[in-house]
Amino acid sequence: MDRSKLYRRFRTLLIANRGEIACRVIRTARAMGLRTVAVYSEADRDAMHVALADEAVLLGPARARDSYLNAERLIEAARKTGAEAVHPGYGFLSENAEFARACFDAGLVFVGPTAGMMTAMGSKSGSKALMEKAGVPLVPGYHGEAQDDATLAKAADKIGFPILVKASAGGGGRGMRIVRSAAELAPAIVSAKREAKAAFGDDRMLIEKYVDNPRHIEVQVIGDSQGNLLSLFERECTLQRRHQKVIEEAPSPTLNPAQRETVCAAARKAAGAVNYVGAGTIEFVSDGKDVFFIEMNTRLQVEHPVTELITGIDLVEWQLRVAFGEALPLKQDEIRLNGHAVEARVYAENPIKNFMPSVGKLSTWRLPAETGGLRIDAGYREGDAVSPYYDAMLAKMIAWAPTRDVAIDRLNRGLEDSDVRGIVTNIPFLSALITHPKVRTNAIDTGFIERELAALTSTAPAPGELELCAAAAAIVNDERQAAQGEANSPWQTFGWMPVGRRQRSFAFRVGHGPEQEISLNYGSGPSTLLIGERELAFTVAPKGGGFDLTLDGVKSSVAAVIDGHELYLRTRNGRFDLHWVDPFGGETEEQAGADKIAAPLPGTVVAVLAEEGAKLEKGAPILTLEVMKMEQTLRAPYAGVLKSIKCKVGDIVQEGTELAVVEASGE
């Protein structure tokens, strides 16, 4: 193959992706003097990556298979804009050998490995066969071509349960199921294949021995077309939920220097088996004694920033230089490890409700400044819409420090100083996770989050005196701010009194809890807040995103968002959602029954798992929706009879659509 067609200098780069990674690639490409072309679906017309790029091309409808997974439309977009190269990001077609080959055939530089390298290493089955031949230690498993049910069942029985059914072409936990008995195998394969087909366009499966409570360690590698292949240290990715990484750090706190060199040498050997070119990751699993190769990701990883922060290397820049045909700028012995970095993935999801994805408009998007070792890679801005069609990741927050403890502290402070409203996010969950004592001491494994889920998703503390005072102050401050510019507004003067009143009362509650009252006293002399018999002097000084509240001589910073009668507050005690009870009555609240089997979000019905008339136990599966590329199974809220199914496979349903009716058994 003519290398001049594979690797050559280009001026215009098309990014075949969306969200955070598209924004990330655009920034480095522009810093290198390249023109950038974004692509987008109808759901992403106003997305951040579209605004950042020099040009943007509409691919098609919202569904990924009609837009971001459509190789022909991507290549046509490159042709229309004069793009000479394509960066695939991660996810979508980033590990699709046919897309890499199609780019080459169209005369485009593909910023990544060749189609042949992808076929050899990107396929979990293919890479395992190659590593077995090269002598790299593997987890016992089946990675053959035969995909019939009988072959997979025989392989699972030979390996011994528990086993892991895993998409050969996948990643990010999609198309992956833990199976602990033979009875669970057939439905797990059906579900995993369906999810893999939807996410990657490929439903081939492999089966591995499931290592209970392992550690997950991966090594960043990168090679050039001159024959140079480097490892850039390792990352610890053990904190996972449902096989999807949540927190990543580099270097691994588990390995000593000798172990680090051993695993990095094994990674170089693995990548060297195909003379690898481009950025990639060699992933290992450890049972506490041995380390086994599990797969190679032939692309950039979501967690690449932690490697960048400990090495000072811009991996996207290196990817582009390799695609130019240049040699890597450094040799192996010139790469230095400096400090420690930790990354948290910020998702639009509700951890308290089983991590259900959240969609809607980002009415408030306040993240801290990127200073003091803090880095934020985001794909959204205030006012952007989070749709149900794609991955739920909004941003990544990464902290660097000389030591692991300080890096964790910096990351936690960054999370604590973040306020995102309009949707539900996992930010409080992330903060609870990284500050957990066992995470601090690195006493973790891949099952840690599931075991500690109750503690990590505990509800916020009840609002105290500070929060009630802050709620009243927030309303007063908001009214003052709204009155700015209104020359005759009485609210411009804080001590204004309608018809001689000198007291104003407020009532707040959390959810459907009891009301808590507080009174504002004003007029001549200092203003005070009265809670029960306790009277507190206070002042309010507005500042961006909130105000400083001085209460009995103690100044506290308060972040506040008011949406009608709903108040969000962040104080030193945490985050609080309060409802301001309408002082004039008229409270109307829709009571949604817990038994309503309805679509929690817009999605597609991908499976109906029970028949009308069936007797169901509480928790029995009824149907499965695909929401944000992940499957959500809706279950019976109680024992009863399935009276009706109001949808069929393939239906696209909106949030709140009733999908099934269950009649309680009366037990």
Looking at residue 70, the DSSP 8-state letter turns out to be -
Asked whether residue 503 falls in the same domain as residue 388, the answer is no
Asked whether residue 442 falls in the same domain as residue 496, the answer is no
What are the residues whose beta carbons fall under 8 Å from the beta carbon of 240, sequence distance 6 or more?
Answer: 173, 216, 246, 446, 449
Query: What CATH number has the domain bearing residue 609?
Result: 2.40.50.100
The pLDDT-based confidence of 588 (bands split at 50, 70, 90) is very low
pLDDT of residue 591: 36
Query: What CATH number has the domain bearing residue 259?
Result: 3.30.470.20
Asked whether residue 444 falls in the same domain as residue 475, the answer is no
Asked whether residue 490 falls in the same domain as residue 373, the answer is no
Instruction: Measure the CA–CA gap between 544 and 529, rounded to whole angstroms.
Output: 23
Tell me, yes or no, whether 367 lies in a domain. Answer: yes
What's the rounded mean pLDDT across residues 572-579? 94
Residues of the chain with pLDDT > 70, as a percent, come to: 93
DSSP 101-119: HHHHHTTPEESS--HHHII
pLDDT of residue 130: 79
Residue pLDDT, tens place only, 232-284 = 999 999 999 988 999 999 999 999 999 899 899 989 999 998 999 999 999 99
Query: What CATH number has the domain bearing residue 186?
Result: 3.30.1490.20
Asked whether residue 45 falls in the same domain as residue 98, the answer is yes
pLDDT of residue 123: 64
Residue pLDDT, tens place only, 509-551 = 998 889 999 999 987 678 899 998 899 999 999 988 899 999 9
**Beta-carbon neighbour count of residue 237 at 10 Å?**
25
Asked whether residue 278 falls in the same domain as residue 407, the answer is yes
Asked whether residue 300 falls in the same domain as residue 436, the answer is yes
Query: Mean pLDDT lowest for which of 205-209, 335-339, 654-658?
Result: 654-658
Set 299, 321, 345, 375: catalytic member = 299
Last-in-domain residue among 178, 209, 240: 209
Instruction: Measure the CA–CA gap between 375 and 112, rounded to whole angstroms.
Output: 25
The pLDDT-based confidence of 372 (bands split at 50, 70, 90) is very high
What's the rounded mean pLDDT across residues 625-647? 86
Tell me, yes or no, whether 166 lies in a domain. Answer: yes
Asked whether residue 264 falls in the same domain as residue 411, the answer is yes
Tell me, yes or no, whether 586 lies in a domain. Answer: no
379: tokens are 């794909």
Tell me, yes or no, whether 122 lies in a domain. Answer: no
Last-in-domain residue among 156, 189, 209: 209
105: tokens are 């055939």
Instruction: Measure the CA–CA gap between 431 and 337, rounded to whole angstroms.
Output: 26
- Label residue 654 exposed, middle or buried (CB < 10 Å: 0-12, 13-18, 19+): exposed
State yes or no: is 260 an active-site residue: no
Residue 78 reports pLDDT greater than 90: yes
Query: Mean pLDDT lowest for which of 62-76, 119-133, 311-325?
Result: 119-133
pLDDT of residue 488: 45
pLDDT of residue 500: 46
Last-in-domain residue among 456, 480, 498: 456
State which of 64-73, 211-220, 470-479, 502-511 shows the largest mean pLDDT.
64-73
Asked whether residue 325 falls in the same domain as residue 296, the answer is yes
Residue pLDDT, tens place only, 392-409 = 999 999 999 999 999 999
* Count of domains forming the chain: 5
pLDDT of residue 595: 56
Judge contact between 546 and 520, C-beta under 8 A. no
| CA angle (85 as vertex; 82, 86 as ends), nearest 5 | 110
Tell me, yes or no, whether 590 lies in a domain. Answer: no
Higher pLDDT, 199 or 19: 19
Tell me, yes or no, whether 192 lies in a domain. Answer: yes
Tell me, yes or no, whether 629 lies in a domain. Answer: yes
E-strand ranges in 270-350 read 278-286, 291-297, 340-347, 349-350
Residue 314 reports pLDDT greater than 90: yes
Asked whether residue 106 falls in the same domain as residue 148, the answer is no
Share the mean pLDDT of the chain.
Answer: 90
Q: Which domain holds residue 72?
A: 3-111
What's the rounded mean pLDDT across residues 167-194? 87
Asked whether residue 370 falls in the same domain as residue 423, the answer is yes
Higher pLDDT, 489 or 287: 287
Instruction: Measure the CA–CA gap between 459 and 452, rounded to whole angstroms.
Output: 14
Query: What CATH number has the domain bearing residue 29?
Result: 3.40.50.20
Tell me, yes or no, whether 131 lies in a domain. Answer: no
Asked whether residue 299 falls in the same domain as residue 439, the answer is yes
Residue pLDDT, tens place only, 132-171 = 777 777 888 887 889 998 999 999 999 999 999 988 876 6
Instruction: Measure the CA–CA gap between 367 and 556, rounded to whole angstroms.
Output: 19
pLDDT of residue 250: 98
pLDDT of residue 490: 41
